[in-house]
Amino acid sequence: MIKKVDHIGIAVKDLDETLKFYENVLGIKAQGNEVIEEQKVRVAFLPIGDTEIELLESTEENGPISKFIEKKGEGIQHIAYKVDDIDKAIEEMKSKGIRMIDEKPRYGAGGAKIAFLHPKSTFGVLIELCERN
């Protein structure tokens, strides 16, 4: 079911400042950025080989990324795994007793369909299932 690591999500306070580090110091260029109103985030993807780094900045004080940073500080927020059929993957996770944050796919950056597994079912790791066309 899992095809590969699609991307690693990193919560940041200031996307523009963080991008300067990734681009000027590490030499990894972003492919633009996008605001996802539904998730209250502005994101930038930085491709590395066949995976990506997703930098996430909250667009609202009460957004999930803001809350994450408040609790844990900046850093890795989730790991996303690519799947071919997200609906099937969600049903398979539920059939295996995995608690889902999203029981139905929602819109993700770049037009992806995404769904999160609850960290209490995944040994403390927020896992995202990601289907891209």
pLDDT in tens, 29-38: 999 899 999 9
Cα Rg, the chain, nearest whole Å:
15
Could you read off the pLDDT of 79-130 as tens digits, one per residue?
999 999 999 999 999 999 999 999 999 999 989 999 999 999 999 999 999 9
Query: For the chain, what are the domain ranges?
Result: 4-131
Tell me the two tokens of residue 13: 């306070």
Please state the pTM of the whole predicted model: 0.93
CA angle 83, 110, 130 (to 5 degrees): 15
Domain 4-131 architecture: Roll (3.10)
